[in-house]
Structure 1
Amino acid sequence: MPQSAWQALGRYPELWRVTLLAFASGLPLALSGGTLQAWLADVRIDIRTIGIFSLVGLPYTLKFLWAPLFDRYTPLGMGRRRGGLVLTQVSLVTALLAMSSIDPHSDIALLGLLALGIAFASASQDIVFDAYRTEVLHPPMRGLGAGLTNTGYRLAMLTSGALALVLAGSVGWVATYRVMAVLMALGILVTLLSPEPEAPAATPHRLVEALREPMRAFLQRPAALVFLLLIVLYKFGDAFAATLSTAFLVQGVGFSVAEVGVVNKGVGIAAALAGALAGGALMVRWGLLRALLVFGVLQAVTNLLFAALAVVGKSHGMLVVAVVGEQLFGGMGSAAFVALLMALCDTRYTATQYALFSALAALARVFIGPPAGYLVADLGWPVFFVLTFLASLPALALVLWLGEPIRRLDQSPVVSTGAG
């Protein structure tokens, strides 16, 4: 980590706080998703019922719909952000403890309702955490903060995912979910010890204002529509390649599921964590514009590594190179992208704007799956991955086009006026 990054860690305690809060933000995701599915499968719940449980993840997709509530109201009289965090975290601890006392065979409907409640509270915590992080991390901290929070979030997902499964094998599901509730309760303590971000000059006084004004305020920015296009496209090529990457490794090249799992979940996760931290550290020196360009080029080039693997065939060495490159440089790109979203937010409407930006960025991942399959069937894997590389280039052109506006974002705090 560059020396300037170490200096930033010592100078800005906010970086440590948001890292711990990122852990609290990431912890509940698997507990209503993959880990819950493992619990249901372990106790022999019907597979059709397990399939229905996948719907409890909808709140993560739709969270922008109620994000304005967290810009308008101040829960528990503790400030917009701290109050929202405590409210959602207490809800999560309560729901996890309740879930741990339920027998899936006799109360499956109630278990489903609690899982949906956990997903809703978790998505709401994400809304408030994204807003909190955006408001406390000013330009010198944004890049490193994005990398650290990405790391905290991923470590939390490992804790409530892989670690929870290991724990359940030793002490059972009831104890496992209670341990997760205790870890979640530590997030409340971190929130209580964290200061409320400095309030902007004006916040929404009516709900209709919180619903209407965030996009109107953003559109007053110079090049606002181009920035929206950049949000959609910056991770597009990366997501395009990733949508079929596992199918490619198993079906296209011939690796076993176990081989793919070891590389993806072992080496790949380590590379992703290293990429997020390295990306954030480099941004301390480079600034947002250079990071967006360099990391964007690197994450695009990694798609060509998969094209090379498709040509070479089953090579364990090439597999490691491709996966490590994808995760390492993808993590760097994600750090720069999160820093960009933070820089674009208006502190009056941070919760709503960040939720809308992240939903917009997710559009690519939602719609590219079907055409990706047809492209592979018609053109083959090597051509497909070359096309995903080419699909990354428009975003780089937009970064160059927006050079001066991005420099201005990097030189001023998060704006608190609609004019930007």
Structure 2
Amino acid sequence: MYGHPRVIGMLFLGFSAGLPLLLVGGTFTAWLRDLGVELAAIGFLSWVGMAHSIKVFWAPVVDRMALPLLTRWFGRRRAWMLFAQGVIALALAGIAFTDPREHLWLVAVWAILAAFGSATQDIAIDAYRIEAVSRDRQGAMAASYVFGYRVALLAAGAGALHLAAAGDWSLAYGTMAALMAVGIVTTLIIREPEVGVDTRTRRLEQRVIDYLDRTRHRGWRRDLTAWFIGAVVGPFADFWQRFGLVAIAILLFIATFRISDIFMGVMANPFYLDLGFSKTEIANVAAAFGLAMTLTGAAIGGLLVMRFGILRMLIATAILAPLTNLTFSWLATLGPQTYGLVFAIMADNISGGLAISVFIAYLSSLTNTAYTATQYALFSSIMTLPGQFLGGFTGLLAAHIGWFWFFISSAVIGLPAILLAVLLGRLAHPDRIRQPGRDSPV
């Protein structure tokens, strides 16, 4: 399964997607501080990363707007990928050759450009991943994507810091700009997905055309109204039309499935330090070993989705998430013992890797190929926002109830996802959802 050409290609697209993230995030702030930029300015510049949280607002443009020449030559998904990758490479090169001590405003412009290019690339790659293969290979595509993504985080994090230490920051960012060639070359090699628009979607959009024919709108006003309804209203109308009131249960499940891990993850490193682990131990076990376990879990998850289907694995991973959080409560009573940290990291990261593959496959199955980019951007935003919001209160909770009960509470908060997974098995079985526009495997 992992030898499928499009699954292999997703490995390199995952690398291209992950590379810019830290370069406008943690690595970016480290560079600014190393050069003596004020903390207040660094704090404000960290807002550029919000582009990934609001990408749903321009996902309809990526879904429906054709790029001059590029769309005709490469197709709608590859055209947007190439455009975004070119923007990212240009912006990273701009950062490399700009001194923030003299032109901080220009560095901010380059960083904003890189962040929006990165978020746009994510939208296009997510859409391509869903459309490129059949449902049973979605777990493998997710696992391959995660592997490439995590390798890119290492390159943009530790790799960039080593290059900066050996040479300078211009060398580090210049090298990262050159590495965007991995994504560009991959996009040029892969084929555009072949998807159609199903009969029900055509009828829905025909109703829009009929409505506009009865109005006084003409010329550009008619075209703009038609585009807005088709690109923005259509994806949401389609989702509600297909699932009805069950859509509420689906959205609640999406919002709660990863909430346990996100909630716990915010306080992971402070917990390790408070317990008495050294920074070296945290780097070696929680970061390096944890990465290996996440990738292992993701690869296994891709295989299990094909073998057992999405529903069984959704329920299994929904149960595993809170269970593995309890290993950290056990670690809190054990103290700074390396074997305890290794066991907790292994359990948590393998289950997390499994959950990533399974959940991406599930979200992919919910989309209509006529609106892939917009609907997936909506789902991914709903997936992270509740956990990120509640994560802001985790410090207060941990200080008030202690680490042992904090991780107990992080397990309890994951229980609704288990109940919702079982409920969806009855109301909207994930393995029986027909994906509009995809009547046969690719």
Query: Fold match, TM over 0.5?
Result: yes
SS in 1 for 2:54: helix
Amino acid corresponding to residue 268 of structure 2 in structure 1:
S
Change (3 A) 1:414 1:183: farther
Cα distance in 2 for partners of 1:29, 1:111 equals: 16
Q: CA RMSD in A?
A: 1.9
Instruction: Give the CA deviation at 1:318.
Output: 0.8
Cα distance in 2 for partners of 1:214, 1:324 equals: 39
Could you say which residue in structure 2 is the equivalent of 1:230? 253
Count of aligned residue pairs for this structure pair: 407
User: Is it true that 1:244 corresponds to 2:267 in the alignment?
Assistant: yes
Instruction: Give the CA deviation at 1:343.
Output: 0.7
Could you say which residue in structure 1 is the equivalent of 2:52? 60
Cα shift readout 1:248-277 (whole Å, capped 9, x = no counterpart): 2222x2323333233221211111111111
Cα distance in 1 for partners of 2:48, 2:413 equals: 32
Cα distance in 2 for partners of 1:325, 1:244 equals: 17
Superposition TM-score, scaled by structure 2 size: 0.88
Residue pair 1:268, 1:324 contacting (<8 A) in 2 also: yes
Instruction: Give the CA deviation at 1:413.
Output: 6.1
SS in 2 for 1:9: coil
Query: Aligned to 2:118, which of 115, 119, 122?
Result: 122
Amino acid corresponding to residue 218 of structure 1 in structure 2:
F
SS in 2 for 1:358: helix
Could you say which residue in structure 2 is the equivalent of 1:186? 182
Cα distance in 2 for partners of 1:363, 1:60 equals: 11
Could you say which residue in structure 2 is the equivalent of 1:211? 232
User: Is it true that 1:9 corresponds to 2:2 in the alignment?
Assistant: yes
Residue pair 2:259, 2:384 contacting (<8 A) in 1 also: no
Residue pair 1:275, 1:327 contacting (<8 A) in 2 also: yes
Residue pair 2:85, 2:121 contacting (<8 A) in 1 also: yes
Instruction: Give the CA deviation at 1:289.
Output: 1.0
Amino acid corresponding to residue 270 of structure 1 in structure 2:
A
SS in 2 for 1:207: helix
The correspondence of residues 13-412 of structure 1 with structure 2, limited to 5 A, is 13-75=5-67, 76-77=70-71, 78-201=74-197, 206-222=227-243, 223-251=246-274, 253-404=275-426, 407=429, 409-411=430-432
Instruction: Give the CA deviation at 1:406.
Output: 5.4
Cα distance in 1 for partners of 2:420, 2:232 equals: 29
Cα distance in 2 for partners of 1:208, 1:227 equals: 24
Q: Percent identity?
A: 38
Cα distance in 1 for partners of 2:162, 2:434 equals: 44
Cα distance in 2 for partners of 1:376, 1:156 equals: 32
Cα distance in 2 for partners of 1:405, 1:21 equals: 35
Instruction: Give the CA deviation at 1:141.
Output: 0.6
Cα distance in 1 for partners of 2:164, 2:397 equals: 41
Can you give the 5+ residue segments of structure 1 that lack an aligned partner in the other structure?
A: 1-7
Amino acid corresponding to residue 216 of structure 1 in structure 2:
A
Deviates more, 1:203-212 or 1:28-37: 203-212
Residue pair 1:139, 1:413 contacting (<8 A) in 2 also: no
Cα distance in 2 for partners of 1:27, 1:378 equals: 38
Change (3 A) 1:312 1:152: same
Cα distance in 1 for partners of 2:346, 2:176 equals: 30
Instruction: Give the CA deviation at 1:193.
Output: 1.2
Deviates more, 1:357-366 or 1:112-121: 357-366
Deviates more, 1:144-153 or 1:275-284: 275-284
Change (3 A) 1:370 1:179: closer
Cα distance in 2 for partners of 1:242, 1:118 equals: 26
Residue pair 1:168, 1:175 contacting (<8 A) in 2 also: yes
Change (3 A) 1:20 1:374: same
Cα shift readout 1:164-202 (whole Å, capped 9, x = no counterpart): 111222232222222212210231111111111113226
Cα shift readout 1:333-361 (whole Å, capped 9, x = no counterpart): 11111111111111111111111111101
SS in 1 for 2:37: coil
Amino acid corresponding to residue 133 of structure 1 in structure 2:
R
Change (3 A) 1:383 1:80: same
Change (3 A) 1:412 1:15: farther
Residue pair 1:138, 1:413 contacting (<8 A) in 2 also: no
SS in 2 for 1:347: coil
Deviates more, 1:80-89 or 1:292-301: 292-301
Deviates more, 1:80-89 or 1:278-287: 278-287
Cα distance in 1 for partners of 2:404, 2:30 equals: 35
Residue pair 2:16, 2:180 contacting (<8 A) in 1 also: yes
Cα distance in 2 for partners of 1:243, 1:179 equals: 30
Amino acid corresponding to residue 99 of structure 2 in structure 1:
D
Can you give the 5+ residue segments of structure 2 that lack an aligned partner in the other structure?
A: 206-225
Cα distance in 1 for partners of 2:301, 2:237 equals: 32
Change (3 A) 1:53 1:371: closer
Cα distance in 2 for partners of 1:370, 1:128 equals: 30
Cα shift readout 1:293-323 (whole Å, capped 9, x = no counterpart): 2222222211110111112222221111112
Residue pair 1:210, 1:349 contacting (<8 A) in 2 also: yes
